[in-house]
Amino acid sequence: MSAWTWGLGETLTGQDIGVVDANTAALGVAQMQLMESSGHALARAVRAAAAPDDRIAIVAGRGNNGGDAFVTARFLDDLDVRVHLLGRPETIGTEIARANWGALATASVERRAVGDSRDLALDDPDVIVDAMLGTGITGELREPVASAAQTIQDTDATVIAADVPSGLDAATGDCAPGTPVPDRVVTFHRPKPGLSALDAPVETADIGVPAEAERALGPGDLGRLDRPADSHKGDGGRILVVGGGPYAGAPALAALAALRAGADLVRVVAPESVADSIQGYAPDLIVESVPGERIGSDHVDRLVALATERDAVVVGPGLGGAEDSRAAVADLLGRIDGRVVADAEAIDAAAAVETDADLVVTPHRGEFARVGRSVDGADEPALADAVATAASDLDATVLLKGPTDVISNGERVRVNRTGNAGMTVGGTGDVLAGTVGALLAVEDPMVAAGLGAFLVGRAGDRAAERSGRGLIASELPDDVGAILGEHGV
Ligand SMILES: NC(=O)C1=CN([C@@H]2O[C@H](COP(=O)(O)OP(=O)(O)OC[C@H]3O[C@@H](n4cnc5c(N)ncnc54)[C@H](O)[C@@H]3O)[C@@H](O)[C@H]2O)[C@H](O)CC1
Ligand SMILES: [K+]
């Protein structure tokens, strides 16, 4: 049993939280429910830390971190509580935070909206709740938070931080100068980067996020692909597809999929016997040929030269199982150190060589049996363990395709439940390899493999709505592009 965990890991970044929140909402648990649970957990901690007649000051920002504390105030309305909102109520940034500010009107809690942080009069509180900033912090502390933070720091009250201290440097665990160093932290759902370095005790409160929201890929995972606005050609990834030989369609499918998944430039290198027919599939492809009818060992120098100019390489589609082709792939993998997706026959080579490449392998059950353990009849935990073990053994990220895809880098395991039985049709594996290749150019291997499985499966579900079991692989790249377009990425 290798030491692996389900999901995104123990410590979650702000981006991870965004993914989990959106996946949670997609599973039917609303953000408002998470805020209610967060605020309630925080209220319990405040009540435990305060004496019955203590004065409690809640200093809230205009995001959901503040929103959590509005819920906290409502749970503590039998105590002497004042809420100080840093800004005008109409500037509260989210609907659920605004709703919880509004809900305070009925509670016997004094609410103050502080226009200018110099007006922040805390009236000598015994306990202060720091709910100014949470995982949504960006950059250096700006006004009015900066002055408010100093005001809090200047008191001798007990400070309880909501989710994270508002001035926390996630990288070092230091609280920025002039920001409140908490006596206690109540963080929601999972620890956040930097918290473990604090002296203060950190309580991690369960807020009811379904395990599936982290375990399974969901629409929230697409949020990782938000493309920086200033991206220019070449940022989106230059991909090399190495394949073709017995088959011409496979490398073309992989190349088209890479383009539809956002790659900027896709070059296919294939034997001259099929180069023209690959080019014939789409003018968008740049096709380069090597002599002969198979990729072979005498082509490897050329392949290495081409691979080093690329952000990701997809090896395998249509390669065929000739001994010299496998030897060529093994030689290639031993000589490159970039990001590589190895599919089909390339998987065996990937399992046989030491490589410095950042490798993703995409076996189906049959190919997996050759590189990992047999998983026939295995339940999900057993599948997860087999894939995590194979990933550790191969020092690669493994995407085991199946009715449920299982993805692991050896430390973490996720599953993908999109897709349908119609996708056993030939060519879907090539589309997946190309999609993962494009994502691998811009994301880390675990993210690229998971998102690739999610997107291609979702594309297959759309195709099945149109064509039933008659869906064909060449439909899928366009659907991948459409899904990305609908999510604005
Ligand atoms: N699943 C969960 O863990 C949940 C967490 N919750 C809470 O939500 C916050 C994150 O909320 P978000 O709205 O994304 O951002 P923040 O409230 O942290 O801050 C945004 C707010 O602050 C302003 N701002 C950003 N950076 C700065 C800065 N450097 N200086 C000044 N002001 C800044 C920005 O303009 C916004 O107004 C998380 O921490 C949890 O507390 C959910 O409630 C439930 C699920
Ligand atoms: K905070």
- Mean per-residue pLDDT, 426-440: 97
Report the C-alpha gap between 282 and 288 in whole angstroms. Answer: 14
d(CA 289, CA 273): 8
| Pocket test residue of 42, 65, 117, 175 for ligand 1, highest count of atoms within 8 A of CB | 65
Share of the chain above pLDDT 70, in %: 98
- Domain 30-208 in CATH 3.40.50.10260? The answer is yes
Do 57 and 128 touch, CB atoms closer than 8 A?
Answer: yes
pLDDT of residue 226: 80
Q: Which of 21-25, 223-227, 481-485 has the lowest mean pLDDT?
A: 223-227
Distance between CA atoms of 83 and 68, rounded to whole angstroms? 12
Nearest protein CA to atom 28 of ligand 1, as residue:
141
Q: Report pLDDT digits (tens) over 150-191.
A: 999 999 999 999 999 999 999 899 999 999 999 999 999 999
The verdict on pTM exceeding 0.90 is yes
Residue 1 has pLDDT above 80, yes or no: no
Q: Is 78 helix (H, G, I), strand (E, B) or coil?
A: coil
Complex prediction ipTM: 0.97
Q: Does the pLDDT of residue 252 top 90, yes or no?
A: yes
- Write down the pLDDT at residue 107: 84
Burial state string for 126-153 with b = 16 or more CB within 10 A and e = fewer than 16 = bbbbbbbbbbbbeeebeebbbbbbbbbb
Domain edges within the chain: 30-208, 229-487
pLDDT, tens digit, 9 for 90 and up, residues 303-327: 999 999 899 999 999 999 999 999 9
Question: What is the per-residue pLDDT across 94-119, written as a single tens digit (0 to 9) for each?
Answer: 999 999 999 999 888 999 999 887 77
pLDDT of the residue at 87: 95
Average pLDDT, the chain: 95
Percent of the chain at pLDDT exceeding 90 = 90
Q: Does residue 39's CB lie within 6 angstroms of at least one atom of ligand 1?
A: no
CATH superfamily of 229-487: Ribokinase (3.40.1190.20)
- Predicted local confidence at residue 304, as pLDDT: 98
CA of residue 66 to ligand 1 center, whole Å: 7
Indicate the length of the chain as a whole number: 489
Question: For the residues 79-83, what does the mean pLDDT come to?
Answer: 97
pLDDT band at 233 (very low <50, low <70, confident <90, very high): low
Tell the residue nearest (CA) to atom 19 of ligand 1: 136
